[in-house]
Chain A
Amino acid sequence: MDNYFDILVYSSMMVLIISLILAFIRLIKGPSISDRVVSLDLIASIIMGMILVYTILIKDAIYVDIVIVISLISFIGTVAISTYLKQKMVEK
């Protein structure tokens, strides 16, 4: 019983690592700068997911607070970058 649960937790960690690699490919390749902003937003969400899976892995609920901080900072960062891009366009 316990063994199946460990397999499920480790395989979901594996799935999240694969999706992190795919998001990094788009971050390097992305033609425009908006693609990179979107993929950075996705990477922040993937790291939130990895911390949640790690919380279950070590059986300690203290890391849930980090997820709150990452969700706040990722939203502020995305809005700041896109506002900066709009501002730069107006000045040009």
Chain B
Amino acid sequence: MNEISVGIILLLGALFILIASIGLIRFKDILSRMHATTKATSFGILLLLIAVSLYFGTYIVTLKSILIIIFVYLTAPLAAHSVAKSFIDNNNKTD
């Protein structure tokens, strides 16, 4: 039973990453695409790391997972901000 729930969380995380890449294909302009990638991708990585740390269940894997989660959630908005700012400065359309 425990293994099945780990597998379901794993599949859910992979599906969120798939949603991010479908959004990258479907949205019309780049700032909307960035909405899809910066939210759904970090949530998918979060679910995959939860699945890995539930599966192994040792202290060191859980500690590494928490470190990766904190790092991803601190840097994903920063990377999106940096790309968006360079795009805005190049194209100069802020309404």
Interface residues of B (CB under 8 A from A): 3-4, 6-8, 10-11, 13-15, 17-18, 20-22, 24-25, 30, 33-34, 37, 41-42, 44-45, 48-49, 51-52, 55-56, 58, 60-61, 64-65, 67-68, 71-72, 75, 78-79, 82-83, 85-87, 89-90
**A22 surroundings in chain B (CB, below 8 A):** 18, 21-22, 24-25
**Those 10 A-B pairs whose CB atoms lie nearest each other, nearest first:** A8-B7, A12-B14, A19-B21, A82-B86, A22-B21, A15-B14, A19-B18, A75-B75, A78-B79, A34-B87
Q: Choose one: B10, B21, B78; the contact of A53 (CB below 8 Å).
A: B10
A contact face: mostly helix, strand, loop, or mixed: helix
Interface residues of A (CB under 8 A from B): 1-2, 4-5, 7-9, 11-13, 15-16, 18-20, 22-23, 25-26, 32, 34-35, 37-39, 41-42, 45-46, 48-49, 52-53, 55-56, 61, 64-65, 67-68, 71-72, 75, 78-79, 82-83, 85-86, 89
B contact face: mostly helix, strand, loop, or mixed: helix
**B58 surroundings in chain A (CB, below 8 A):** 61
B21 touching A75 by the CB < 8 A rule? Answer: no
- Knowing that A15-B11, A20-B21, A61-B58 are A-B contacts, what are 19 other residue pairs whose CB atoms are under 8 Å apart, sorted by A's residue number? A9-B10, A19-B14, A19-B20, A19-B22, A37-B83, A38-B24, A38-B30, A41-B37, A41-B83, A42-B20, A42-B41, A49-B13, A52-B45, A53-B48, A68-B64, A68-B67, A72-B71, A75-B78, A79-B78
